[in-house]
């Protein structure tokens, strides 16, 4: 799997999945934070994760913290997707370990550009780690 989409809004998740698949990406879609955590800590984690802030079980910032606290897994590029737009929320998300913070509603092309960039960064990080 290359890209994880974790969003409890099924419409948003399906739109992202369709657009990412159309660009040749392998995609896993989940609707709850616990399912996202299972994918992120698997033996074959995604290169990039698009994480909604608000999900059942585990929220996006907590997932970021959990991923960044791991010392045994490969680098994963993390993008928080959220309707929260207060500067305090951006700080919380970035301090949790997100690489990008995208406010909803988002321009699809903007997210796709960030995914492309994030995948490039993740591939380079993993190659450097050996």
pLDDT in tens, 25-41: 999 999 999 999 999 99
Please indicate whether residue 130 or residue 6 has the higher confidence score (pLDDT).
Answer: 6
Give dist(CA 88, CA 15) in Å, integer: 28
CATH code, 3-106: 3.40.50.2300
pTM: 0.95
- Quick: pLDDT tens for 74-106: 999 999 999 888 889 889 999 999 999 999 999
What is the edge-to-edge ordering of all strands in the sheet holding 27-30?
Answer: 27-30, 3-6, 48-52, 77-82, 100-103
What band does 113 get if pLDDT is binned at 50, 70 and 90?
very high
30 contacts 3 by C-beta, under 8 angstroms: no
For residue 97, report the phi and psi dihedrals to the nearest 5 degrees.
Answer: 120, 5
Give dist(CA 56, CA 1) in Å, integer: 22
* Whether residue 92 has a cis bond before it, omega within 30° of 0: no
Question: Is residue 60 packed enough to be buried (19+ CB in 10 Å), middle (13-18) or exposed (0-12)?
Answer: buried
Q: Domain spans of the chain?
A: 3-106
């Amino acid at each position: 799997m290359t890209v994880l989409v974790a969003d409890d809004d099924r419409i948003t998740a399906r739109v992202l999945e369709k657009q990412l698949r159309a660009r040749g990406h392998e995609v896993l879609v989940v609707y709850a934070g616990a399912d996202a955590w299972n994918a992120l800590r698997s033996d074959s984690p995604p290169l990039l994760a698009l994480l909604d802030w608000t999900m059942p079980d585990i929220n996006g910032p907590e997932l970021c913290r959990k991923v960044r606290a791991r010392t045994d897994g490969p680098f994963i590029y993390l993008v928080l997707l959220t309707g929260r737009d207060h500067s305090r929320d951006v700080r919380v998300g970035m301090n949790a370990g997100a690489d990008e913070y995208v406010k909803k509603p988002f321009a699809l092309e903007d997210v796709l550009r960030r995914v492309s960039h994030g995948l490039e960064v993740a591939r380079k990080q993993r190659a450097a780690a050996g």
